[in-house]
Amino acid sequence: MTCQQSQNHQLRIRNLSWHVAGKAILEQVSVDYHSGELLGVIGPNGAGKSSLLRCIYRYINNYQGSIEFEGQSLQNYSRLQLAQRMSVVLQHNETNSDANVLQWISLGRTPFRSWRPRIQQQEQQILQSVTELMQLEDLLAQPISKLSGGELQRCVIARALVQQPSLLLLDEPTNHLDVGHQMQIMAAIKGLSIGSIACIHDLNLAAAYCDRLLLLNNGRVVAMGTPAQVLTQENLRAVFGVHCRVDIDATGRLSLRYHYPQPGEIETLHG
């Protein structure tokens, strides 16, 4: 067992920097991710959230620093090996397809695809288990292109889960969903038996469902810890330029109550 594994660090990022045309998109980012937790990556637009995920799943390779995944350098994994261990849910997914829901979700098994009957039966069992978990049983014959936003997002996550990854990466998984579907998706992610790292725009959702938060601004780490440690009035004012009250209820759950500026107050907030 490696030192990283013994400390339960599934992912270890050290001094990660990525520059484009002389501009720092990520700068000296270091993160220890603990196996099994839901880590929320938060920050304003342009903070580097999506870029961090892209480095982790190797869409971006020309960075400086190091990323270790399950005790090995990320660069030691082949594309196939990484696809068998890590799944990604992107902000935008191509659904202009004639496939039905079951066919579309089954594409997630591509890294393991084999036509031997034994494997086919195993794949069927995996598909059944995942579609039940994401409550998609009644939609399997429906065209993927005809689903509502909440239904489609459950399918996107299901396609990632049939890879049976040890780590799930999600870029704004609740984007463009109504409040009810946002909660449904976050509850489903929270209930998974695998670890997840998710870029999240809504800070109250992040506080309600994430075990820890990573706050980025201008490509740098501002804070990392529990929601109560990260979502302080000082951090929210400094990073987002907002005034808010941080409430913690009897169960320890944190929620934010924003001060909504009236005309004439905007300059005061950001000045």
Q: What is the pLDDT of residues 21-60, one digit of tens each?
A: 999 999 999 999 999 999 999 999 999 999 999 999 999 9
The domain 9-233 is classified under which CATH number: 3.30.43.10, 3.40.50.720, 3.40.50.300, 3.10.450.50?
A: 3.40.50.300
Q: Is the pTM of this model over 0.85?
A: yes
What distance in Å separates the CA atoms of residue 93 and residue 80, rounded to the nearest whole number? Answer: 21
With bands split at pLDDT 50, 70 and 90, how would you rate the model's confidence at 271? very low
Backbone angles phi, psi at 237, to 5 degrees: -65, -45
Domain map (residue ranges) of the chain: 9-233
Give the span between the Cα atoms of 255 and 19, in whole angstroms: 35
Tell me the C-alpha distance between 189 and 210, whole Å: 10
Kindly report, residue by residue over 190-209, the tens digit of the pLDDT: 988 899 999 999 999 999 99
- What is the pLDDT at residue 263? 79
The per-residue pLDDT for range 222-248, each reduced to its tens digit, is 999 999 999 999 999 999 999 999 998
CB 175 within 8 A of CB 124: no
Instruction: Please give the backbone phi and psi of residue 255, each rounded to the nearest 5 degrees, phi first.
Output: -140, 155
Integer Cα distance of 38 and 46 in angstroms: 22
Half-sphere exposure (Cβ direction) of 215: Cα atoms closer than 13 Å: 22
For residue 118, name the pLDDT band (cuts at 50, 70, 90): low
Q: What percent of the chain has pLDDT over 70?
A: 90
